[in-house]
Amino acid sequence: MWRIATRLRLLILFAALAVLPYLLSYSQQEIAVLLVINVLLVCSYRLLTLTGEWSLGHVVMMGVGAYASALLTKRLGVPVPVSMLAGGLAAAAVAAILSVPLFRMKGFYFLIGSFAAGEIIRLIWKRFTDPFGGPKGLKRIDAFPNIDFGFLEIDFYEPVNYYFLALIVVSASLYVLHRIERSRIGLTFHAIHWQDRLAESVGVDNFRYRTLAFVIASFFAGIAGGLYGHYVGAVNPTRFGVDQMVYVLVWAIVGGTATLHGPILGVVVLTVINEIVLRGLGLDTVRPLIYGAILILSVLYLPDGLESLGPRLRARLRRRGRDPAAAGGRAA
């Protein structure tokens, strides 16, 4: 019964996502594309946080994927879909190398170490104009190739088409991330987070599992980078700086990281508020102020993130059901 209800919910969700771009304006479709890519970025970040480690280099991993994919298409003529996958693999490989020094550290030290590692990568992009384009980065990156079925031509310059491409890639990635979390490996990640010494005492190799989480998270961040680079057509080191990382942290904190849908809620709600509502109200120049206020309020009043709203509401309704008089009295 539970499985049927879940499947039904997913069916409704995908139907809504399929209809969504047709209800949006052209520029809102553009925002939707970037939003879908950011969903993958923040969900992949959550996988790393399952082990209890918060990194400041995740956006740089996205950049590694974007740069690798862009260079493979520009320099070697690799087809874009293949280069996107290769971008993910490149980010995973870089993460595997970085994990050697980084996972000698834990907690706050890991956070700072990941920031330093990310900055080193960004400095490499800046320093070596060939092949990384220096501070200006790479531009005129090949777009995802159009598909021509004869009766139907799909032009991926159009945001609505790229939205569906990104949606397919991100949905598949989220499914994989979900399966990993529900697997024995995912349970081990949780165990390392909450009881790392105990896990170690029963034979869990913490270093290996932390590395695995970092590598998988970076792989999907790299895929997000590939999707981004081939859509926007340009990447530069500033785009993958600490400012962008702060956004990822805010999405994760505001949404919550206990469930897979927590960070998705965070990125969707904050992007809609920031990019559509506040811009629509003509509040362009005060958006950072309002964004900051939302962050402070959500940390104060929703410390477990937006994902805790549902369970809170359900608990409240249950209490109301048990004691309607008391609940009614409170509401009035």
Partner 1 sequence: MSRKSLDGKITRRKFLGSSAASGATLAAIGAGLPRVAFAADAVIKIGFLAPLTGPVAAWGKPGLDGCLIWADWVNAKGGVKIGGKSHKIEFVGYDNEYDAAKARTGATKLIKEDGVKFVMMLGGDTWPGVQKIAEREGMLFSTLLPSDLSPETKTLLAPCEVHPIYNVTGVEWLAENKKELKTAAICAQDDALGKPSVATYLAAFEAAGIEMVDKPEFFDPATTDFAPVMTKLLAKKPDILCLDTCYADYVHPLCEQAFQQGYKGQIISCTADFYQKIIEKTSKEFMEGFIFQFPDFDDPAMNSKGVNFVKPNEFYAEYAKRYGASEWGAVSWEYASIMDLWADAAARAGSADPGPVLEAMKAGGTGKHAFGDAKWWGKELFGIDNALVGDWPVVAIEDGKARIKAFKSIPAWWDKHSKLMIKHMTALGQMWNQR
Mind giving me the DSSP string for 268-288? HHHHIIIIIIHHHTT-GGGHH
Q: How far is the CB of 276 from partner 1 (least distance, A)?
A: 10
124 vs 121: CA distance, rounded Å: 5
Whichever of 234 and 294 has its CB closer to partner 1, that residue is: 234
Q: 309: which residues sit within 8 A by CB, 6+ positions away?
A: 302
Angle CA 250–63–14, to nearest 5:
60
Q: What are phi and psi for residue 123, nearest 5 degrees?
A: -65, -35
Q: Is 1 in the site for partner 1 (CB under 8 A)?
A: no
314 vs 326: CA distance, rounded Å: 16
CB 260 within 8 A of CB 178: yes
Query: How is residue 290 written in tokens?
Result: 């309002």
Q: Is 129 in the site for partner 1 (CB under 8 A)?
A: yes
149 vs 146: CA distance, rounded Å: 10
Per CB under 8 A, the segment of 26-34, 173-181, 203-211, 318-326 that binds partner 1 is 26-34
CA 209 from centroid of its chain's CA atoms:
20
Q: Is 135 in the site for partner 1 (CB under 8 A)?
A: yes
DSSP letter for 304, please.
Answer: T
70 vs 78: CA distance, rounded Å: 9
Q: Is 26 in the site for partner 1 (CB under 8 A)?
A: yes
Q: Is 34 in the site for partner 1 (CB under 8 A)?
A: yes
Q: Is 169 in the site for partner 1 (CB under 8 A)?
A: no
Whichever of 216 and 221 has its CB closer to partner 1, that residue is: 221
Q: How far is the CB of 123 from partner 1 (least distance, A)?
A: 7
Whichever of 177 and 275 has its CB closer to partner 1, that residue is: 275
Q: Is 319 in the site for partner 1 (CB under 8 A)?
A: no
Residue from 2, 19, 203, 284 that binds partner 1 (CB under 8 A)? 284
Nearest Cα neighbor of 180 from 207, 214, 204, 222 is 214
Whichever of 8 and 123 has its CB closer to partner 1, that residue is: 123
Residue from 7, 9, 136, 318 that binds partner 1 (CB under 8 A)? 136
Binding mask 242-281 toward partner 1 (x if CB under 8 A, else -) reads x--------------------------------x---xxx
Whichever of 261 and 279 has its CB closer to partner 1, that residue is: 279
Q: Is 146 in the site for partner 1 (CB under 8 A)?
A: no
Per CB under 8 A, the segment of 3-11, 103-111, 145-153, 235-243 that binds partner 1 is 235-243
Q: Site size for partner 1, by CB under 8 A?
A: 42
Q: Is 241 in the site for partner 1 (CB under 8 A)?
A: yes
Whichever of 210 and 239 has its CB closer to partner 1, that residue is: 239
Q: With residue 16 as reference, give the H or E element that holds it.
A: helix 2-23
CA 284 from centroid of its chain's CA atoms:
25
Q: Is 282 in the site for partner 1 (CB under 8 A)?
A: yes
Q: With residue 154 as reference, give the H or E element that holds it.
A: strand 153-154
Whichever of 178 and 279 has its CB closer to partner 1, that residue is: 279
Look-up of token digits 């981004």: 228
Per CB under 8 A, the segment of 106-114, 130-138, 191-199, 315-323 that binds partner 1 is 130-138
130 vs 13: CA distance, rounded Å: 45
CB 80 within 8 A of CB 145: yes
Report the interface residues with partner 1, using CB under 8 A: 25-27, 30-31, 34, 119, 123, 126, 129-130, 133-137, 139-140, 143, 157, 159, 228, 231-234, 236, 238-239, 241-242, 275, 279-282, 284-285, 287-288, 331-332
